[in-house]
Structure 1
Amino acid sequence: MTVKLDKESEELLGTHTADNPPVVDGFRVPATTGRELAIAGDAYEGASRFSTELGSYQPATRSADQDIAPAKRLADARSRDLTRNDAYIRGGVTLRKDNIVGSYFMLNAQPNSFQLFGKEDAKWEEEFQEEVEEKFAAYVESPRNWLDASGHSTLTQMVRMAIEQHTVHGEVLASVEWLRAGRRPFHTAIQMIDVDRLSTPPEQSGNPNIVMGVELGPVWHEPVAYHFRKAHPSDWSTPNSFQWRRQPKELPWGRLQMIHLFEQFRPAQTRGIGTMITAIPEMKMSRQFRDVVLQNAIVNATYAATIESDSFDASTIFAQLGGTDFPPEKVMEAMMAMSKGYYEMVASTVGKSKNLQIGGVKIPWLPPGSKLNLQGAGQGGPLGTDFESSLHRAMATAFGVSYEQWSKDYSKTNYSSYKGAMTETYKAMASIKKAVADTFASWVYRLWLEEALNQGQITSIRRNMPSWYEGQNEEWYSDCDWVGASRGQVDEVKETEAAILRIDNGLSDLKTENARLGRDWRKGLRQMKREMEWKEFYGVMQEEKMKEAASTTAAKKDAKK
């Protein structure tokens, strides 16, 4: 039986017919191309197999998961160790958290009334925003830490932790829990999970659909469940460390159960890898460099002078400088045998100069071949030089911040260059904020809002409004953005004038400009209104008091007359 192939299949199999003739020789790659390349050279020098510099540079060709899996545990351990023990790395991680989250991560609810009702309802949006923001903040920022399943952190603290986990490990992992114990106002809670616990159970090691603890769908390889230890692998005394828990990503009706955030650099990438990994060699060398230089400075500060001698051993030199740990007989014997002629020459030439002193410190004449080196106490090494600066620039680049912010060195920076550096840092931090901090907090808000609506806690939702579970209503109800850290101002006058110009010319608004300063524009306007009312009232009171005082003064004057 003859099977007729389509033209594409015939071309792939090398089968040619009258309808599908072979390609003209001028357009085909000759069979001897490999041998000719050895003579003529490669078209791309970066991919050359014969370059002296790159000939031995043959990176492996692997999938994203095959690249990450063997390196993940050691990369995370090294990143954590540097974060714990290096002041600059610790400062860099804190800098990221301070630039993205700040001291309070504030919800700015943005419900979409047009998509929900078919028309815009600004009044309802305002009512919904104010009620939801106040009730959400009261729950997630309560000092009772209702949101944290372990009872340690508020939402702001959890978001700061998420930024640190993303910086060090390249991913954030948390489970959504439903807690009923106690007098909790809501049952929704979040449990942060150490990424070291996310791993494949031993009995599932042969399952191709479970990759580094993440269970994937058989067709599209989307995450469907997560397998993680009930305790950290290093907690040997805890029996739970040898037990795994399987948590589905979603419940049957779509409620999220696992939050797993990471930046995907390649298709089919299942786990994240920290950005610190690219600069670990520089980070480690920088710390060793500083340690050696500081040790050298301590040694140099310990000794006022050192002696180099080709003629005497250490014990003889020590005795000659006044040491008392050696018997005088041995000192005299060595000196008489080797230095008698030298001292006679010194006596006849310079006389009493052997008693020469520098700053009250006696400097003796030494035998031939000996040198006295004075050591400055401040002689420490090249800390702060271009070499160390180059290491810090590499680390600052890995963290996405400017060199000035990383090193805290502003001595060579003017206003314009610093503003440019801040702008670059802001763009990098804004992308991380959107991908990690905003996404994590938005999931928390959406999970809480679903429960609050089902409990009837949101009074601005009227009875006949669209259901949360219909179509994309979940998106329209829970749409929001987040106000994090203030961008700060280098020159407050210039930057305030620029903000006013942007608002006046329609390039910005009060919400955006207040968000730059880490403030809520609605609360700011309310406070301004209160202050204006108080000033008006206070002005009236002051005016009445002034009139009363004036009439009293006039009455006194009349009485004197």
Structure 2
Amino acid sequence: MAKPNILDRAIATVAPVHAAKRAAARQALSIINSGYGNYGANVTKKSMRGWEYFGGSAKEDIEDNINVLRQRSRDAYMGVPAATAALKTMRTNVVAGGLTPAPQIDGAYLKLTDEQTGALREQIVREFALWADTPICDADRVDNFYKLQRLAFLSYCMNGDAIALLPMKHQTGQPYDLRVRLVEADRVCSPNGFDRLSPCEVQGHKVTSIVQGVETDADGMVVAYWICNRHPLSNFGTVRPEEMRWQRVEAYGAETGRRNVLHIIDRERIGQRRGVPMLAPVLEAIKQLGRYTDAEIMAAVISSMFTVFVQSETATDARPFGEMLPQEQQVDSADTSSIELGPAAIIGLNPGETVNFADPKHPNAGYDAFTNAMLKQIGAALEIPLEVMMKQFTTSYSAARGALNEFWRTCQMQRDGFVDDFCRPIYEEWFAEAVARGRINAPGFFDDPAIRKAYTECVWNGPARTNLNPVQEVNAAVQRVDAGFSTAEEEAAQMTGGSYSANIKQRKIEAAQKREVDEITKPQIKTGGNGDA
């Protein structure tokens, strides 16, 4: 305990009770302000007193605010260029034209020869293309599988999560019945808009807990999703509350264990059930930056309007010289009394009327510097370097390369998560149907999960990393392969997004064609009558 100072001793002599309270308060303060209590958890410093830090569980902090976050995130995407650039940049670099499967069958475990493994791999690729390359795979019959990837990933970034159902629907002339139905995050919501945090009965089902449409059991395990038949925010037609219905879809089939619902989500809190939009941490900064940009644009437009006002000394019944802008050029043509500015316009005024303009000095000379500073912070929060977001590589080669390498880690992490949540489960369900229909021969597929995994092992290749110096990148890739740090398959996927095995096969065909052409075009050697050349 701290020793009393001179002031404490003086107070103790005059007012012992007050001195005791003072000593007790100092002792309590010394206990509170230790470790983080001196810094981030301090509650006595003036700089920290105004910090509103009260929070709660993942439900209070995330799920209870998710509707506002989604709508503001979508609004920012549709109207603020920085938000649009961030989400589209992430989509293009993570998914681009779509992630393509490269089967990695474990032939050794399945006791297959290299020739058998290669032949089976080629058959799988051909069969998957029958399903994935056409809109038949889409339950809405609009996009093929690769366009569905782009839509699902962008929806996940914009709304925080995305839902995909895997119904079966037969269509004449098509070899597969598997369909992918994307559901926007808003439609997965609690019946009638009320979460259930205690056991109750909902539409004839006994439930333990429902939070934002995600039902969990007593152990916190997700067991079902509640999907509304209409979008809660839809204004299409007259939607009365009694017309809205919720369908309970089990996450996994009770008898088969089949995945019925795919939930694309990147959780950031334990116990979290719904995803947070990617723009959520920077929504305020992005909105303010958008407002600032709009103000600068409007100020620059007004400054560019060179308008002359003419004021006469005496009143006259004659029409003013120039009068006002022609009606077809006015923004508000419905208001006949409005006077609008316009380039090179001449407007007459009545006697005694004057117009005064403040010098706005726009565009602001500091606009670029301030905007770039804000975009750097926004990009850092979203893990997108400024150079990548703005598509401007004006710094040094080493700085641009460092930014691209750092962004590549972010894209790889996002890609791995998207593959786990969306691509791989769909591929496995398609593979199971292909085996069940006899289009792919996979003995033991339904008997042993280990055999099933050996058949369905797959690598998903996507857009390649941006190369600032292709020659150096190729040389580095060759050295990594030669040293055993990487494989030719991995380097081909990272540098071009292609498959090394497919490239070698195509090169063999091209080499044979080249030899055939060389034989045809090779100069013929003419010989003389005696056989001498």
User: TM-score, length-normalised on structure 1?
Assistant: 0.75
Counterpart of 1:42 in structure 2 is: 33
Residue equivalent to 1:409: 392
After superposition, the C-alpha distances for 1:443-489 in whole angstroms (9 at most, x for unaligned) are 11001001111111114x3xxx3232424333222111100111121
Contact map agreement 2:196 2:211 (CA 8 A) in 1: no
Letter in 1 for 2:315: P
The corresponding residue for 1:22 is none
Q: SS of the counterpart of 2:142? A: coil
Using the alignment, how far apart are the partners of 1:518 and 1:529 within structure 2?
20
* C-alpha distance after superposition, 1:19-38 (max 9, x if no partner): xxxxxxxxxxxxx9876233
What is the 5 A alignment of 1:221-240?
A: 221-236=220-235, 237=237
Q: Does 1:289 align with 2:292?
A: yes
1:119-165 C-alpha deviation (Å, 9 max, x unpaired): 574333322211112211221122xx111101111111111122212
- The alignment partner of 2:524 has SS state of helix
> Following TM superposition, by how much is the alpha carbon of 1:372 offset from its aligned partner in structure 2, in angstroms?
10
Q: How does 1:426-441 map to 2 (within 5 A)?
A: 426-441=408-423
> 3-state DSSP class of the match of 1:500?
helix
Is it true that 1:300 corresponds to 2:306 in the alignment?
A: no
Is 1:272 aligned to residue 251 of structure 2? no
Map of 2:347 onto structure 1: none
Residue identity (%): 20
* Matched AA of 1:38: L
Task: Provide the C-alpha distance between the structure 2 equivalents of 1:414 and 1:408, rounded to a whole number of angstroms.
Answer: 14
User: Larger RCO: Structure 1 or Structure 2 (Cα < 8 Å, ≥ 6 residues apart)?
Assistant: 1
Note if contact 2:222-2:251 (Cα within 8 Å) is conserved in structure 1.
yes
Deviation, 1:379, is: 4.0
Q: Distance in 2 between matches of 1:100 and 1:54?
A: 40
Q: Distance in 2 between matches of 1:410 and 1:384?
A: 20
* Structure 1, unpaired ranges of 5+: 1-31, 306-317, 330-369, 556-561
Who wins on radius of gyration, i.e. which is larger? 1
3-state SS, counterpart of residue 290 of structure 1: helix
Q: 8 Å contact 2:296–2:362 — kept in the other structure?
A: no
Q: CA deviation at 1:325?
A: 8.3
Aligned to 2:364, which of 378, 381, 403? 381
Cα distance in 2 for residues equivalent to 1:254 and 1:300: 67
Structure 1 residue 279, shift from structure 2 partner: 0.5
- CA drift of 1:388 comes to 0.8
Deviation for aligned residue 1:113: 3.3
Counterpart selection for 1:474 from 447, 452, 466: 452
Letter in 1 for 2:88: T
CA contact (8 A) 2:137 2:178 kept: yes
> Counterparts of 1:248 and 1:199 in 2: how far apart (Å)?
14
For 1:247, what is the secondary structure of its paired residue?
A: strand
> Distance between the aligned counterparts of 1:127 and 1:274, measured in 2?
43
Tell me the residue number matched to 1:345. none
Tell me, yes or no, if structure 1 residue 446 matches structure 2 residue 428.
Answer: yes
After TM superposition, give the deviation of residue 414 of structure 1 in Å: 1.2
Aligned to 1:334: none
Q: Distance in 2 between matches of 1:67 and 1:269?
A: 10
In the aligned structure 2, how far is the partner of 1:64 from the partner of 1:234?
Answer: 24
Equivalent of residue 60 in structure 2, options 66, 76, 94: 66
The one-letter amino acid of 1:250's match is: Y
| Contact 1:102/1:486, CA 8 A, preserved across alignment | no
Q: By how many angstroms is 1:522 displaced?
A: 1.8
3-state SS, counterpart of residue 62 of structure 2: helix
Work out whether 1:245 is the aligned partner of 2:241: no
SS in 2 for 1:450: helix
Q: Which amino acid aligns with 1:227?
A: W
Matching residue's letter, 1:129: R
Q: SS of the residue aligned with 2:422?
A: helix
Equivalence for 1:126: 118
* Structure 1 equivalent of residue 15 of structure 2: none
3-state SS of 1:274 partner: coil
**In 1, Cα distance between the equivalents of 2:248 and 2:47?**
49
Q: Which one of 374, 388, 398 corresponds to residue 381 of structure 2?
A: 398
* Secondary structure of the corresponding residue to residue 261 of structure 1: strand
Can you list the C-alpha shifts for 1:33-82, whole angstroms capped at 9, x where unaligned? Answer: 87623367601221122121112324224111221122100000000001
- The code of the aligned residue for 1:216 comes to T
- Residue equivalent to 2:154: 164
Deviations 1:399-447 (A, max 9, x none): 3211011123333x11110000001100011000001145311111001
- Residue of structure 2 equivalent to 1:485: 463
**What count of residue pairs does the alignment treat as equivalent?**
454
Specify which of 512, 524, 541 is matched with residue 503 of structure 2: 524
Q: 1:217 maps to which residue?
A: 217
Describe the SS at the equivalent of 2:272: coil
SS of the residue 1:36 aligns to: helix
Give the corresponding residue for 1:152. Answer: 142
Does structure 2 retain, via aligned residues, the 8 Å contact 1:169–1:274?
A: yes
Question: What is the deviation of 1:105?
Answer: 1.9
TM-score normalised to the size of structure 2? 0.79
Between the aligned partners of 2:314 and 2:491, the Cα distance in structure 1 is 79
**SS of alignment partner, residue 180 of structure 1:** coil
Q: Supply the distance in 1 between the matched residues of 2:258 and 2:358 (Cα, whole angstroms).
A: 74
Give 1:189's aligned amino acid. Answer: R
CA contact (8 A) 1:438 1:481 kept: no
Does the residue aligned with 1:547 lie in a helix, a strand or coil? Answer: coil
Partner of 2:524: 547
Give the aligned partner of residue 323 of structure 2: none
Amino acid at match of 1:399: L
Aligned-residue offset at 1:373: 8.9
Structure-to-structure mapping, 1:18-167, within 5 angstroms = 36-38=27-29, 42-43=33-34, 44=36, 45-115=39-109, 117=110, 121-142=113-134, 145-167=135-157
Equivalents in 2 of 1:241, 1:435: separation in Å?
A: 37
**What does the per-residue CA deviation read over 1:362-420, in whole Å, with 9 as the maximum and x for residues that have no partner?**
xxxxxxxx9999979x9411465221111111222233211011123333x11110000
Q: In structure 1, what is the Cα distance between the partners aligned to 2:226 and 2:371?
A: 43
**Alpha-carbon deviation of 1:205?**
4.6
- Does the CA contact (< 8 Å) of 1:276 and 1:399 recur in 2? yes
Kept in 2, the 8 Å contact 1:110–1:125? The answer is no
- Partners in 2 of 1:325 and 1:243 — Cα distance? 73
Amino acid across the alignment from 1:279: V
Superposition RMSD in Å: 2.9
AA paired with 2:222?
P
Distance 2:63 2:116 in 1: 50
Contact 2:73 2:158 in 1 (8 A): yes
- Matched residues in 1 for 2:161 and 2:24: separation? 45
Change (3 A) 1:451 1:33: farther
Q: 1:40 to 1:212 in 2, by over 3 A?
A: closer
Which residue of 256, 262, 269 maps to 1:259?
A: 262
Flag the 1:382–1:241 CA change in 2: closer, same or farther, 3 A. Answer: farther
Question: Is 1:200–2:190 an aligned residue pair?
Answer: yes
Q: Any idea what SS the aligned residue of 1:53 has? A: helix
Instruction: Give the Cα–Cα distance (whole angstroms) in 2 for the partners of residues 304 and 202 of structure 1.
Output: 57
Partners of 2:98 and 2:462 within 8 A in 1: yes
Task: Tell me if the contact between 1:303 and 1:375 (Cα under 8 Å) persists in the aligned partners.
Answer: no
Distance in 1 (CA, whole Å) between partners of 2:71 and 2:194 is 25
Output the amino acid matched with 1:451: E
Aligned to 1:456: 438
Counterpart CA distance in 1 for 2:44 and 2:506 is: 72
